[in-house]
Structure formats: C-alpha cells, structure tokens
Amino acid sequence: MTTRADGTVREDARPPDDAVRPAVAVNAVGKVHGRGGNAVVALDGITLTVEPGEFVCVVGASGCGKSTLLSLVAGLDAPTTGTIDVPGGTPALMFQESALFPWLTVAGNVELALKLHGVGRAERRERARELLAAVHLADFARRRPHQLSGGMRQRAALARTLALRTPVLLMDEPFGALDAMTRDLLHDELERLWRQRGPAVLFVTHNVREAARLADRIVLLSSRPGRVVWQTRVDTPRPRRIDSPETAAIAADVTARLREEVRRHGG
Amino acid sequence: MAGDPAPPTTSAGDLRRDLSGLDALELAGAARERSRLATVLGALWPKLLALALAVLVWQVVVWSGWKPDYLLPGPAAVARGMVDIVPTGEFASAVATTMRRAVTGFALAAVIGFVLGIAVSRIRVLRAALGSMITALQTMPSIAWFPLAILLYQLTEGAILFVVVLGAAPAIANGVIAGVDYVPPVLVRVGRNIGARGLGLYRYVVAPASLPSIVAGLKQGWAFAWRSLMAGELLVTIANRPALGELLDVYREQSDSLHLIAMMIVVLAVGLVIDALFGQVDAAIRRRWGMTGG
C-alpha cells in the first residue's frame, strides 16, 4: 500500500520481490492540520523505515505527532507531503483505548475483522478461538467488552489486531491506560506473541522505559513540529525485564535526550 | 523468531498463571447482576406507590365536594364505568381504529425520519439547510397543523396521518442524526482499519453504534405520534368509525364525565404501555453494552 500526499492509496500489484524491502518506508513525510492562519505543522520531513520483523518504538513528548504518524501509516489520513510505503498492505492498528465494539462479544469482535476480510464462518470461529487462547482469553470469548478489565480488553484488542495477520502492527500507546503490573505482564505477552508471529511493529509511546523494554530500535521525535532527532539500537537479549539494569540504562539515556528536546520549548 | 532461549524471567506458563490470577482479581470486584424478577419488582413498587397517591388525591378532591359528583366522579365510580365500556363492541372497534392509525402513522414517520436523518447526517448542505429546521418543526404544537391538514385532506384519515407523521418524524430523524454524530471516532477508525468501507462501515459500525440514540428517538417519536393522534381524533371525526380520541368528545357532548375520565385513563394506559416497551428495548441495549451505572 502506498499513500501519497494527494491522498491516493495504491495497493501494490507486484509482490514484494526482494527480501530487504522495508516493511514500512516513510519518506520525507510532512503533515499540516488545518489551513491558513490555523495551520499546525504536526510532522515535518519525517523519514523512517521499519525492517520486516523489527520492533521500533517511537518516543516523544506531547505534540510530537506520534499518533498522526500512525494514522498516516495506517492509511487513515493522507500526508501533506512525502510518501509512505507499506508493501504488505494496510497494517493493523491498536489504540490506547481498546476500541472493542460494545455490541459484540469478545469473540464477535475478533470474528468481525475476519468476516470483513472474507473469511468463512467455520474458519472465523476456529481462528478467533485460537487467537483468544493465544492472549489467554479463551474462557472469556462469550463475554462482552464491559465485563472485562482494562488489561483483558487490551488483550482482546490485540487478538483482533493479530487476526488480520498483517506483516506490520501499529500500536498507539496501547498500554498507556493500564496499571504498572498489568502493563508489565502485557509487555511479556506482546514480546512473546511478536517473537512467535514475527510481524514488524511500530509502537508509539511516551513511556521511555516501555520503549527500552520492547524495542529493537528507539526513534526520538521532536515536538511541534515532529522530526526524527535521534535514534538508537537496543541490543539487550530477549526476553527482557523492565526492571533490569540494561533497560534502566537505556531508558536513562533516552530520557536525557528527551529532556533536552523538551527544554528547547521552555523560556 | 523460533527457538526461544531458556528465559531467565517469566516462562510462558508463569505468564499464563500471572495473567489469569490478575484477571480473577480484577473481575472479582464486579457487582453481581440482580435477577430479572428482583429488578422488575424493584422498579415497580415506587410506580405503584405514586399511582396509589394520585388516586388518593383524586378521592380527597371528590370528598371535599369541590364539584358535584356527576361532573367529577370518584375513582371507584370511574372503575365501574371502565367495566361498562371496555367489553363493548364499540370500544373494541375504537381501539382497533386508533391503533391502526397509530401503527401506520408511526411506521411512516419512522421511514421518513430514517431517510431524513441519514440524509442530513451524511450530506453537509442538507445539514446546514435542514438541521435546525427539523428541531424547529419539533417545537411546533402538532394541533396547530390540523386546520391546514383539514383544508388539504378534508375530514379524512389522510389529515390525521399527515399530522401524526409531522409530529413524530422530526424526533426520529433527530435520534438518527444524534446517533450518527456521536459514534465514537475511534470506533470508526478501528472499523476502517479492520476493513469496513462504505456501506460496510455503516452496516457493521455506524448503525450498531447509533442504536441507543435511534431507540431514544423512536421512543420520543412515539410520544409525539400518540399526542398528535389524540388531537387529530378529537378534531377529525369520521362517521361510523369510532376512535379513542373521538369517544372523548362524544362523552363530553353527553356531559358523561364518568365515561370521559374512564376513556382518558385508557388513552393514558395505551401510551404508557407502548412507552414501557421502548423502555425495555432501551434497557436491554444498555445492559448488553454495559452502559448501566455500576
């Protein structure tokens, strides 16, 4: 899928021919919200690639356009300038709120995603069952979203996101509203599922420790307008722990850079 | 990614146990739902108490001798009057006529309200042009339409239908518009992301998400339709076709306040029963969605 500044979305006819082709290629992308005197530059000349199977965390203070970036990569919005290439087709997107449909059961939510992609009834049932088992929600398939806790809802949303089997997952602060203990467990869970299934992940967060815990690579965005100002590779072996000294050291480094970036906006 | 090395921290089994323990703890606090019967009884007794109080006040006014008995009969006399009229063929045929008009008018209003609501919520020009006019139409007392309706349709079913539809359709349209407007944007984004486009987005996301508001609009539309219908039946009487509203006028002409009040109670009861049906549908949706407080 290619999204251009003019809003055209083109599904690629030819299959990805070479193995090194990135899963996501963001080329010199700018995004302006509004127009005239009210125009706000959200993103300015962002260039960013995500390799197949790579876990990239984008961190930044508020106003860095992290969510805008994900909307653009998901094809929900068109960039003002530049192009975005996602050769594997529309990536699956997950939000801070679970955004499960309250009128469907947990299984129904997962099955709807499959139904909209033309998967037959029997296969839908089977795949939803398998996905809910993978996120440890097999016993809650017939419940409605409001009958689950926040962490369980995020796991259900993760199952729905994985249902599409897209080569790229986009995650917009998916654990931002959870308590620390639930969040730590979901980090373990996400890491496990990612290693099993191998999608590329573009994960947006303002939580630096979370980024150090999860990422292969951390990308720091500046604020107003958003630009890539720094990136670093994280080579800590997996599975990781959020309270390990390695993770803490990386988080401290990223925090220092982030503070510097935020200070530029002060008096 | 296959062939995980021996994890130094949580194994898959530990993780599963941690998660299920946390799930159990978080769900344990959730309030157990009361039985259906207990809910119904709990909601019923305040209503019965209020009804008893109203009847008592009525009886006290009658006892005070404010008006003579033949003008303002007491509850017991009216109850006997009700027993007189309800088994008659005239009453049955009046109920049938009125309900047929109510159902036809409400159904027509629902169709028009839906089409109008969807058109206004979809098309920006229409919203600018008609949005406020629909609300304005709702504030117009429906009885004020009757003189024109009678000129246009004479004393026919058409005149009644015209006013019932005008009374109910704006409320239904407003329910649809509000429903579509207040679909949480994140649900639309998710819907598009998981592959719902065009009509599919409406079918699988927008329509179900606006259902509570649409039901509220239908409920309000019913109240308007019923009021308009009673006004219509008082004004537009058709020979040899008794109707509930018309019977009110017949009893008034005969100075028969006993049966007049009995008939008013019937009109009130029909309105309340149907309102309660909408209330049930509304409550069922809220239960399913977890919109009930608590």
Find out whether B233 and B98 touch, Cβ atoms under 8 Å: yes
Residue B87 in 3-state DSSP? coil
Task: Tell me the per-residue pLDDT of A22-73, one tens digit each, with 9 for 90 and over.
Answer: 999 999 999 998 888 888 888 988 999 999 999 999 998 876 788 899 999 9
Shortest CA distance from A117: residue in chain B: B195
* Whole-number pLDDT of residue B30: 59
Question: What DSSP state is assigned to residue B203?
Answer: I
* Residue A127 pLDDT level (bands cut at 50, 70, 90): very high
Q: Give the closest residue to A109 by CA, choosing from B294, B141, B205.
A: B205
Tell me whether residues A185 and B211 touch, CB distance under 8 A. no
Find out whether B229 and B100 touch, Cβ atoms under 8 Å: no
pTM score? 0.83
Task: Tell me the per-residue pLDDT of A77-109, one tens digit each, with 9 for 90 and over.
Answer: 999 999 999 999 899 999 989 999 999 999 999
Percentage helix, strand, coil, to 5, in chain B?
A: 80, 0, 20
Tell me whether residues B22 and A181 touch, CB distance under 8 A. yes
Q: Which two tokens stand for residue B104?
A: 């036809």
Residue A55 in 3-state DSSP? strand
Rounded to 10 degrees, what is the CA torsion of B120, B122, B123, B128?
Answer: 50
> Does residue A103 sit at the B interface (CB-CB below 8 Å)?
yes
* Whole-number pLDDT of residue A67: 86
* Whole-number pLDDT of residue B109: 97
Mean pLDDT by 10 residues, chain B (294 residues): 46 82 78 70 86 95 92 94 91 94 96 94 88 86 91 93 94 94 93 92 94 94 94 88 91 93 93 91 87 56
Chain A residues inside the 8 Å CB shell of B281: none
Domain architecture of chain A: domains with CATH = 2-91+166-263 (3.40.50.300), 99-165 (no CATH)
Mutate to test the interface with A, among B19, B183, B282, B285 (most CBs of A within 10 A): B19
Cα–Cα distances (Å) from A58 to A44, A203, A229, A232, A253, in that order, read 15, 6, 11, 11, 15
* Whole-number pLDDT of residue B292: 62
Domain architecture of chain B: domains with CATH = 101-181+211-286 (1.10.3720.10)
> Does residue A147 sit at the B interface (CB-CB below 8 Å)?
yes
| Chain A, chain B: beta-carbon pairs less than 8 Å apart | 105
Gap between the Cα atoms of A90 and B3, Å rounded: 29
A260 Cα to chain B: minimum distance (Å): 33
Residue A156 in 3-state DSSP? helix
A241 Cα to chain B: minimum distance (Å): 7
* Whole-number pLDDT of residue A51: 95
* Whole-number pLDDT of residue B43: 79
Q: Where are the alpha helices (DSSP H) in B65-123?
A: 75-85, 89-122
Rounded to 10 degrees, what is the CA torsion of B48, B54, B58, B60?
Answer: 90
Chain A residues inside the 8 Å CB shell of B30: 147
B177 Cα to chain A: minimum distance (Å): 20
Q: Which two tokens stand for residue B127?
A: 């919203």
Gap between the Cα atoms of B143 and B149, Å rounded: 10
> Does residue B189 sit at the A interface (CB-CB below 8 Å)?
yes
Inter-residue long-range contacts of A245-249, CB under 8 Å, 24+ positions, other chains counted: A247/A209, A247/A212, A247/A213, A248/A209, A248/A212
* Residue A223 pLDDT level (bands cut at 50, 70, 90): confident
> Does residue A194 sit at the B interface (CB-CB below 8 Å)?
yes
Chain B residues inside the 8 Å CB shell of A92: 193-194
Q: What percent of chain A has pLDDT over 90?
A: 73
Residue A205 in 3-state DSSP? strand
Shortest CA distance from A133: residue in chain B: B16
Chain B residues inside the 8 Å CB shell of A102: 288-291
Q: How many helices (H) and strands (E) does chain A have?
A: 7, 11
Mutate to test the interface with A, among B18, B194, B281 (most CBs of A within 10 A): B194
* Whole-number pLDDT of residue B138: 84
